[in-house]
Amino acid sequence: MNSHNVREYPRRRGSGRLVVVLLTAVLAIAGCAGGSTGSTSPTSVDMAAALKQPATLTLWSWVGGLEDEIAIFEKKYPNIEVKVVNAGQGPAEYQKLRTALSAGEGAPDVVQIEYQQVPSFTITNNLLDLMPYGANDIKDKFVPSAWQQVTQGNKVFAIPQDTGPMGMLYRQDILEKHGIAVPRTWDEFADAARKLHAADPSTYLTNLPPNEGGAMTGLLWQAGSRPYRAAEGTELTLNIDDAAARKVAGYWNGLVQQQVVAADADFTDQWYQGLANGKYATWLTAAWGPLFLQGTAKGTAGKWRAAPLPQWSSDEKVSGNWGGSTSAVTTQSKHPEAAAALAMFLNSDPESTRMLATKQFLFPATKALVTDESFTSQGLPFYGGQQVNKVFAGISETVRTDFTWSPFQDYVYSAFTDTVGKAITDRRDLPSALRDWHQDVASYAQKQGFHLTS
Amino acid sequence: MNPSRVVTADTAVPVVASRERNRSVTRRHAIAAYGFIAPAMLVFVATLVVPLGYAAYVSLFRERLVGGTVFVGLGNYGEAVADPLFRAGVLRMALFLVIQVPIMLTIALVFALVLDSGRVRFGRFIRLGIFIPYAVPSIIAALMWGYLYGPDFGLFAQLARRVGLGTPRFLSEDWILASIANITTWEFVGYNMIILFAALRAVPSDRYEAAAVDGAGAIRTAWSVKIPAIRPALLLTVIFSVIGSFQLFNEPQVLWVLAPTAIGNGYTPNLYAFHLAFTNQQVNYSAAVSFLLGIVIVAVSYVVMLATNRSSRS
């Protein structure tokens, strides 16, 4: 078993139904965008020369079937050989990575790391700053909310691979049956939750999973909560119970106390059944959610639709992010130039990124693909032919761009389950549980040597 | 050996010579003996003593995310002793021990006695049936039971609803310890039964004959002859169970997925140590907690042995 605290969110798994690779388009785009590895800062390295040197790289990734993307890279840089290793998904991989990093050997050159984990590895100086290797040149290719999460000051520690802008999947048939309009604001959502559960006690408008710090963080992110600010030295600003978070906790507190939302742990049998048999009428999820749902609740095909998250005010259009990964280069790498080139190429080369989106079904982190008609215009039968990618592509642009992660996100999520999660299950007061969450993390941070400011 | 001695000395000579010979034989035997146990000792030292020593060493420091590593002496131990999560975990396991172990061993003993009495048909078949759960890996067992416990689609919940009993909340905070106890009982009754049954088979039959001559019935024989006769085996199962209880890990770890808020990070001391090391990155503190847990286990096992010895003497 892996460390069970940080839940592994499901990667989009598809059956090849999505977009077919349009080879001509790919070639056309590949033609215009050259790998510009230029000199941007005085410390930049001569990449062109370094990449002619023979090198063997190891890449850790749990995304299956990367061979084709790698083949394009190896074709472009014939002297570089890449070995892909699946060292486990999420926490399983991080444990191995941490062990190898503290042992001083055995870590890969390039490694897949989720956004929320990047600062947990930079705090221990295990990731290479990619700025001198030309990361700045590809900055503008990425959606700002993704780039923001891999940047610290003027350093870039990873290259975004996929993202998880949050939206809402809902059962159109259930809402229609009870005459409920698709909620656009959280107020409407609360009314709908009460109305639906009163009309049918076996149905809940949604499920608030008590074990999913990642999903809750996405909702807090949308509301404008900024729980952690980048640490300067040993300084850390911690405000888990800031005004925005208190607003969110107070809101859900009402629904949880009235028992009009379910409180089941997600990614369990119980929860899968709930999605499949109409116990939950919506799933507040991220851009990887649609394909996951399609695979897990086959019997409900055609009944689901996608929409943006409800908003805090009707004139707003904002969202948060849940999930998604990056490629980072470890400081153990003996070939930092080649490793940096791989991390950047894999996630920014037009041909490679299109493959990631259409073969591995990763929700793209690049602007080019998010706005690409051939990607967004695909209608999914499971969603009644709705262009689901277009919905999430639209949401992707509305993800707030000022969110940063703590340097110990594993612990933050674990503490979430023990405090707020427990209160959700027991239907206890959420705002006071939010304070407990903050206190718990604060005392941990101090033990880890941080000086807290607020 | 010095041959001149043999010539010059008289009566003492053969003794000395044989002593010398003996000593050298002993020495040779000793060297051979060391040679024979060396492989085992090497493995013992490499896999047990060295890691333990290293863990003890590590537990004296505190490595922090920022600000480096500091020597804290017994600071981690002091913190652990005062740590409410650790204490709650140890107490929870003590409660588990006091309730689950007697139930499990009583069932195992009754099964063993019944099978030993030779009065049941298909004895072998039943013995195997009772033992089979032990052959199921505990992870699988916990997964299976976790599924059965489910409040919406679990077998028990469905049955209970059908007969109008409402939905039992086996995975709620109030019931989860009992649910775990049920799984471990299911798993280990067969294992303990086999140990006790084997011990019963080794009891000399003349005792039974003597009991029969004295007019003891089957139950009286079981109580006054069989159970005292297998006391060492019973003690063995008790000690195993004490250790097993305090080291409970797999079942709560698997059920955590289903009941993440009912089973906290410090639910059992072992689970806590695991979390400290792999989620919290507090390896040093985790080592201290593990050592303290080891001390608790040794102490409780010792008390159990002392208590049993005393009651056997009185």
**With contact defined as beta carbons under 8 Å apart, do A276 and A300 qualify?**
yes
Between CA A171 and CA A300 the distance in angstroms is 9
User: What is the predicted pLDDT for the residue at A352?
Assistant: 96
pLDDT digits (tens, 9 = 90+) for A222-245: 999 999 986 677 899 999 999 999
Q: Which of A256, A268, A410, A452 to mutate to test the interface with B (most CBs of B within 10 A)?
A: A268
Q: Are residues A349 and A307 in the same domain?
A: no
Q: Are residues B111 and B40 in the same domain?
A: no
Q: Are residues B82 and B54 in the same domain?
A: no
DSSP B120: S
Q: Are residues A190 and A210 in the same domain?
A: yes
Would you state the structure tokens that stand for residue B213, as one six-digit string?
A: 């001559």
User: What is the predicted pLDDT for the residue at A101?
Assistant: 93
Q: Which of B258, B262, B279 sits opposite A3 (nearest CB)?
A: B279
User: What is the predicted pLDDT for the residue at B24?
Assistant: 79
Between CA B30 and CA A435 the distance in angstroms is 67
**C-alpha to C-alpha distances, A234 to A246, A378, B64, B164, B187, nearest whole angstrom:** 27, 48, 11, 59, 49
**With contact defined as beta carbons under 8 Å apart, do A161 and A69 qualify?**
no
**Residue whose tokens read 């608790």:** B296
Asked if B279 has any chain A CB less than 8 Å from its own CB, the reply is: yes
Domain-embedded: residue B63: no
**Residue A445 to chain B, least CA–CA distance (Å):** 9
The candidate with the shortest Cα–Cα distance to B142, out of B245, B246, B248, B253, is B253
How high does pLDDT run on average in chain A? Answer: 89
Domain-embedded: residue B193: yes
User: What is the predicted pLDDT for the residue at B311?
Assistant: 67
Contacts of A414 in chain B (CB under 8 A): 265, 275, 279-280
The candidate with the shortest Cα–Cα distance to B249, out of B96, B41, B59, B43, is B96
Percentage of chain A beyond pLDDT 90 is 82
Q: Are residues A132 and A188 in the same domain?
A: no
Q: Are residues A177 and A203 in the same domain?
A: yes
User: What is the predicted pLDDT for the residue at B217?
Assistant: 86
User: What is the predicted pLDDT for the residue at B18?
Assistant: 67
Q: Are residues A426 and A282 in the same domain?
A: yes
Coil, helix or strand at residue A136 = helix
Q: Are residues A286 and A433 in the same domain?
A: yes
Q: Which of B65, B68, B256 sits opposite A4 (nearest CB)?
A: B256
Considering only alpha carbons, which residue of chain B is nearest residue A423? B261
pLDDT digits (tens, 9 = 90+) for A294-315: 999 999 999 999 999 999 999 9
Residue by residue, DSSP assigns A396-445 as: HTTB-S-----TTHHHHHHHHIIIIIHHHHHT--HHHHHHHHHHHHHHHH
Q: Are residues B217 and B144 in the same domain?
A: yes
B95-128 burial, b if ≥16 CB within 10 A, otherwise e?
A: ebbeebbeebbebbbebbbbbbeeeeeeeeeebe
pTM of the model: 0.86
Coil, helix or strand at residue A114 = strand
The candidate with the shortest Cα–Cα distance to B275, out of A427, A418, A375, A208, is A418
**With contact defined as beta carbons under 8 Å apart, do A118 and A158 qualify?**
yes
Between CA B229 and CA B202 the distance in angstroms is 9
Q: Are residues B146 and B27 in the same domain?
A: no
Q: Are residues A17 and A149 in the same domain?
A: yes
Domain-embedded: residue B69: no
Q: Could you give the count of Cα atoms lying within 13 Å of A368 in the half-sphere of its Cβ?
A: 19
**With contact defined as beta carbons under 8 Å apart, do A399 and A167 qualify?**
no
Domain-embedded: residue B66: no
Coil, helix or strand at residue A152 = strand
Between CA B181 and CA A375 the distance in angstroms is 52
**pLDDT lower than 50: segments of chain A:** 1-42
pLDDT digits (tens, 9 = 90+) for A87-138: 999 988 998 999 999 889 999 999 999 999 999 999 999 999 999 999 999 9
The candidate with the shortest Cα–Cα distance to A372, out of A12, A13, A21, is A21
H-assigned helices in A279-372: 289-296, 336-348, 350-358, 367-370
Coil, helix or strand at residue A53 = coil
Q: Are residues B148 and B45 in the same domain?
A: no
For chain A, how many structural domains are there in total?
2
Q: Are residues B42 and B90 in the same domain?
A: no
Q: Are residues A260 and A278 in the same domain?
A: yes
Q: Are residues B24 and B125 in the same domain?
A: no
CATH of the domain at B182: 1.10.3720.10
User: What is the predicted pLDDT for the residue at A47?
Assistant: 85
ipTM associated with this complex: 0.82
Q: Residue A18 sits in which domain range?
A: 3-163+323-370
First-to-last C-alpha distance (Å) of chain B: 57
Asked if B164 has any chain A CB less than 8 Å from its own CB, the reply is: no
Q: Are residues B139 and B286 in the same domain?
A: yes
Q: Are residues A32 and A146 in the same domain?
A: yes
Spatial CB neighbours of A354, under 8 Å, sequence gap ≥ 6: A21, A26, A29, A369
Q: Are residues B9 and B139 in the same domain?
A: no
Asked if A424 lies within 8 A of B261 by C-beta distance, the reply is yes
Q: What are the pLDDT tens digits along chain B (314 aa)?
A: 444 444 444 444 555 666 667 777 788 888 899 999 999 999 999 999 999 999 999 999 999 988 889 999 999 999 999 999 999 999 999 999 999 999 999 999 999 999 998 888 888 899 999 999 999 999 999 999 999 998 888 899 999 989 988 888 899 999 999 999 999 999 999 999 999 999 999 998 888 888 889 888 888 888 889 999 999 999 999 999 999 999 999 999 999 999 999 998 899 999 999 999 988 999 999 999 999 999 999 999 999 888 887 766 55
Q: Are residues B13 and B142 in the same domain?
A: no
**With contact defined as beta carbons under 8 Å apart, do A310 and A168 qualify?**
yes
User: What is the predicted pLDDT for the residue at A17?
Assistant: 33
Q: Residue B49 sits in which domain range?
A: 3-58
CATH of the domain at A290: 3.40.190.10
